[in-house]
Amino acid sequence: MTPRPILFVDHADALGGAERSLLLLMTFLDRRRWQPHLIAPPGQLASEAGAAGCRVHPQALPRLRGSSRSLLNLGRNARLIASTACDVGAALIHSNTVRATAYASLAARLASLPLVWHMRDFWLSEAEPEAKWADLLGKRAFTALAARVVANSHAVSQRLPASSKARVLHNGIDLSHFDLTRNSAANKAEICKTAGFPVDAPLVGMIGRTRPWKGQEAFLRMAAGLSEAEPACRFLIVGGDPFGVRDDYEARLLELGSRPGLAGRVHWTGQLADVRPALAGMDLFVHPGAPEPFGLVNIEAMAMEKPVVAFAHGALPEIVLHEDTGLLVPPGDTSALAGAVSRLCRDPILAQRMGQAGRQRVANHFRIERTVSGLETIYHQLLEGK
């Protein structure tokens, strides 16, 4: 059997959640049937894709801002993608981000190839747009140009135009990568030593880029609310600014974390290439952000047998089962978030049971093998005309 080339397109040079998910998809594709190629700018994504055995075709995909220069960039780069697709004999084009889809949808038309649009966000813009009619028009255009639309959650799918082309494939992880033989006590001891925390303190953590919608401010408000009820608790914030936004948000967080009641109780790791040691050291995982289109870190925490406390919005109810693998609280209610954390801190047996149930849920529903199987079925149906 000769493997059929699939041309993936992504605009990012760093690794966000969408890019990490893409890497897993390309890595776990059945190489007897499919040969993954990637168009992306030089950077961490391209480097790791190459290391995973994917053929990488470096190409920058500049931000499109609606100017005449943007239209020139769109046309020129779409032609380059189409040329690459023809050169490698691609069976189809798979776009992984919204910006990539703007280029790839035109390239697919130029190359007369089917397009799979992988939609991983609620909106076509990074934040919720004021002009939702424009967002809907854009989604309708991309949907019309795509042969299939893959949404990473039902929450994302519900914001797409109703279409028979849409399929939901939840993100998956490589469960073997989250090995439970990892010594949680040793990881926690190392974190506490670095942070100056008592080694027996309950360690409550979160992971996310230092952006407002990831919820670091809500996490700190929750932590402040716990300062009297759970004075032994200490808090771990993992994440940095891998995309180089460089605004004053991180400075505001540091100021908030140094206020009375929190000073000396919060440790910041910055951006980590590998979050597993931090996850292993946590007793509880909190997801305090805005509604997530998926939230890959939650299944990573569950894979490490950590109970998850989160707001019940976005895709979180599709991931965390309330009172089974964690606790969900009303969106935006940091007092309820603090109460849920306090409950699990005071009932370590319940926390352990939820953590074990979370690992099993990942094994049953969120393994990368399951996601890839669904994606390969979509490819087969498209290419065989079924």
Instruction: Specify the pLDDT at position 89.
Output: 98
- On whether the CB atoms of residues 185 and 313 are closer than 8 A, the answer is no
Instruction: Specify the pLDDT at position 256.
Output: 83
- On whether the CB atoms of residues 37 and 121 are closer than 8 A, the answer is no
Distance CA 175, CA 53 (A): 20
Query: Hey, which residues does 284 pair with through a beta bridge?
Result: 204
Distance CA 17, CA 239 (A): 12
Q: Is 216 exposed, middle or buried (0-12, 13-18, 19+ CB in 10 A)?
A: buried
Instruction: Specify the pLDDT at position 386.
Output: 54
pLDDT in tens, the chain (386 residues): 799 999 999 999 988 889 999 999 999 999 999 999 999 999 999 999 999 999 999 999 999 876 667 788 899 999 999 999 999 999 999 999 999 999 999 999 999 999 999 999 999 987 888 889 999 999 999 999 999 999 999 999 999 998 889 999 999 999 999 987 667 888 899 999 999 999 999 999 999 988 888 999 999 999 999 988 899 999 999 988 766 666 778 888 888 888 888 888 999 998 898 999 999 999 999 999 999 999 999 999 999 999 999 999 999 999 999 999 999 999 999 999 999 999 999 999 999 999 999 999 999 999 999 999 999 999 999 998 75
Instruction: Specify the pLDDT at position 16.
Output: 84
Query: How does DSSP classify residue 212?
Result: G
Distance CA 197, CA 239 (A): 19
Distance CA 225, CA 236 (A): 16
Classified as helix, coil or strand, 12 is: coil
Alpha carbon dihedral 257, 263, 266, 267, in 10-degree steps, equals: 100
Alpha carbon dihedral 107, 113, 119, 125, in 10-degree steps, equals: 20
Question: Which residues are CB-neighbours of 246 under 8 A, at least 6 positions away?
Answer: none
Q: Which domains does the chain carry?
A: 4-172+367-384 (3.40.50.2000), 175-365 (3.40.50.2000)
Instruction: Specify the pLDDT at position 180.
Output: 72
Query: How does DSSP classify residue 64?
Result: P
Instruction: Specify the pLDDT at position 107.
Output: 98
